[in-house]
Homo-oligomer: A and B are copies of this chain.
Amino acid sequence: MDKQHFTSGSNTVRIGNYLIEQLYSHGIRHVFGVPGDFILGFFNQLMDSKIQVINTCDEQGAGFAADAYARINGLGVVCVTYCVGGLKVVNPTAEAFAEKSPLVIISGSPGIKERKKDPLLHHKVKNFDTQFKVFEEITVASVLINNPQTASQEIDRILNAALTYKRPVYIELPRDMVSVDIFLDPIQNNTVAQVDQYQEKSDPIILMEALNETIDMINSSIRPVIVAGVEIQRFGLQNELLNLVEKLKIPVSSTILSKSVISELHPFYLGVYEGAMGHDAVREYVESSDCLILLGALMTDIDLGGFTAKIDQKRTIYINSDKFSVRYHNYEEISLKDFIDKLIESNDIKQRVDFINKPLYSNLEQFCPIKGQKITIKRLFQCINSFLKDDMIVLADIGDALFGGTDLVIHRKTEFLSPAYYASMGFAVPASIGTQLANPKLRPLVIVGDGAFQMTGMEISTVLRFNLNPIVIVLNNGGYGTERSILDGRFNDILIWQYSLIPNIVGGGKGFIVETEEQFEEALLYAESNTECFCILDIRLDINDKSPALQRLTEALRKSSF
C-alpha cells in the first residue's frame, strides 16, 4: 500500500485515502465499525493509516460508541458495510441528529459499475439508493461518491456540514471508488480547516440590536438567571460560558441533557433545572426569575420535566443555533458564540454583587455505609457521589441510571453524558468505549439498567479487547423500572442475568455481586485501585425501588396525555 500518498511532492491521492486524511486533520484518531465485503477495501486503507479501527461486536455498538466519541472529540466516525451494516446504525444516527452530535457515517456499497441493469446484489433492499434515502431523513448532509472529479469537494462539504451543524452526515463509498486516484488542485485549500470556519456568522447590525435589548433586559432585572443548554458543549463554548457567568455574576443552571456543562461545584451553579422533575429550590429560582437567559438549550420534554416547566416567555431571552427570541419577537442570523462573546465584551452591563451559592442541593458529605443495610437506588447514588473522582466521566443510560444520576455532583465540565432527550436504551456501555478512546485521561463510570444492558452490554467484549477500564454499574431490578412506574405488566420483566459472571465469557475484567451498602463501597474501592481492567457490578435492587427523581418524573409523565 502507498504510505506516502499525501506527501507534498504528490497531488494525486486515492479517494479513500483523501477521506482518511481529512478525517485525521479534523482530529479523528479512531473509527468504529464492523467490516463487510462492500467496505473491505476502505478498511484496508484505514489499517494502513494513522487512524485506529475499533471493531465492535455489532454495528449498533459502533454507532453508539462513535456518537459518544463525537460528543467528546468534536467529530466521530462509524464505518460499516452496505445495508446490513448501515441500516443497523440508523438508530444511533437518529440519536446523534436529535441530540446534535457530529457523527460521520461512512458506508461501503456496491460499485457504480456493478449497478448497471439493477442486479440483485446481496444486501440490496428495494433499490440501490434505498439506504441513501433512509439516511437523508436522519442527517444534515449526504453524498454518494460516484464522481472522481468532485469527490474531494463533496467530502469537504459533508465534513463541514457535520462540523457546522453538529449533526450527523452520510458518506456512501461504492467499493469501486475507494482506490480511484483523484487529482488535487494545489490552489484549492485542502489543508486543515480552522475551527472558526464552522461557526455560523452573525449579521453585525442585527446582533447589535439584539445585544442592546438583552443588556437592557438584564440591567433592569433583579434576579436574572442563565440556563445553559447542550449546545454550549457541542459548539465548544464552555469557557465562554464560564467567563460570561463570572463576569455578569449571574447564577446558572443546566438541563439534564447539558448536565455538567459547567462544574457543579462552581459557586454560581444552581443545579439541574428540569421542571417538576427537579428539585423545588432550583425550579423556584429559575421560574421566578425576571430575566431568564436560555443559552443553547433544546426545549425537550425531558429537559422540561415532562413539560411541567413553567417558563414565562415575556421574561425570557432564548438563543440556540436555530433561534433567537426576546420575549415574543425573533431575531435571525445571530450565532450563539458571537452573542456570548459580545456579552462578555460589553461594558454596559450592570455590575452585580458576587453571587455565592450555598448549593441548593448537595450530597457531597462522605458516604458511610450502614452495616448489613440492603442497597437502594437513592443510597447508591449518594455513594457514587462521594466516590466520584476528577478523572471520571459518568455515562448514564436511560431510566433510573439517568434520572437518579441527575443528583450526582459533577466536578468538572462535560463529565456526564447521557442521551437524555432521544432516550435510546443501550447507549452507555458502547458509549464508554468511544468516550475513553476520545479522552484516555477519563475513566468511564457507566450506570446502566439491566434492560439496557441486555441490549448492548456485551460490547464489554470490545472494552476488553481494546484494554479500556470502565466501571460498569448494572441496576439489576429484573425489568424496565421506568415503565413499571407508568404502566406495569409482565412485558416490563426481563430475565435475570448473572452479570458478575460476564468476565468469564469474555476472558477478562472483574465481576461483583452487590446486595448491601458495604458491598457496594467495597466494590467501588476495588475498582478504584484496580485500573488495569473493567469492573462490572451487579447491583441487586428491590423491584419497586426508584430514585426520588424518577418518582417525580413518573408522576409528571403520568399526568401527560396517553
Q: Identify the A interface with B (CB < 8 A).
A: 35-38, 40-41, 43-44, 46-47, 53, 55, 57-60, 83-84, 87-88, 90-91, 94-95, 97-98, 111, 113-114, 119-126, 130, 133-134, 137-138, 175-176, 298-303, 307, 421-426, 454-456, 458, 461-462, 464-465, 480, 482-483, 486-487, 489-499, 501-502, 504-507, 557, 560-562
Contacts and interface: CB of A to CB of B under 8 A. Distances in A.
Given A58-B454, A60-B60, A98-B123, 6 more contacts: A35-B483, A94-B125, A97-B126, A120-B299, A120-B300, A501-B505
Among A38, A98, A300, A490, max chain B CB count under 10 A is at A98
- What's the number of copies of this chain in the assembled complex? 2
Given A120-B298, A134-B137, A134-B138, A495 B486 contact: no
Contacts of A83: 91, 94, 422, 424
Contacts of A504: 498, 501, 504
A90 B122 contact: no
Given A489-B43, A497-B505, A421 B562 contact: no
Given A84-B423, A122-B422, A114 B561 contact: yes
Contacts of A422: 83-84, 122-123, 125
Contact of A130 (B38, B94, B123, B301): B94
Contacts of A487: 40-41, 44
Contacts of A111: 561-562
B464 A495 contact: yes
Given A137-B134, A490-B47, A495-B464, A60 B36 contact: no
Given A111-B562, A505-B497, A561-B111, A35 B480 contact: yes
A84 B90 contact: no
B41 A562 contact: yes
A134 B90 contact: yes
Given A119-B307, A130-B138, A461-B497, A87 B90 contact: yes
A435 to B, nearest CB: 20
Contacts of A98: 123-125
A138 B126 contact: yes
A134 B41 CA distance: 28
Nearest to A466: B495
A501 B498 contact: no
Contacts of A55: 491, 493-494
A501 B300 CA distance: 43
Contacts of A47: 489-491
B134 A301 contact: no
A560 B40 CA distance: 14
6 contacts: A37-B482, A84-B91, A122-B300, A133-B137, A498-B506, A504-B504
A126 to B, nearest CB: 6
Contacts of A300: 120-122
Contacts of A126: 97, 137-138
Contacts of A507: 495-498
A40 B133 CA distance: 30
A57 B495 CA distance: 9
A494 B502 CA distance: 17
Contacts of A95: 84
A454 B56 CA distance: 9
Contacts of A562: 37-38, 40-41, 111, 175-176
Contact of A122 (B91, B122, B302, B454): B302
B113 A88 contact: no
Nearest to A500: B505
A448 to B, nearest CB: 13
Contacts of A498: 504-507
Contacts of A124: 98
Given A119-B307, A301-B120, A491 B41 contact: no
A493 to B, nearest CB: 7
A492 B97 CA distance: 30
A195 to B, nearest CB: 26
A302 to B, nearest CB: 5
Among A55, A95, A495, max chain B CB count under 10 A is at A495
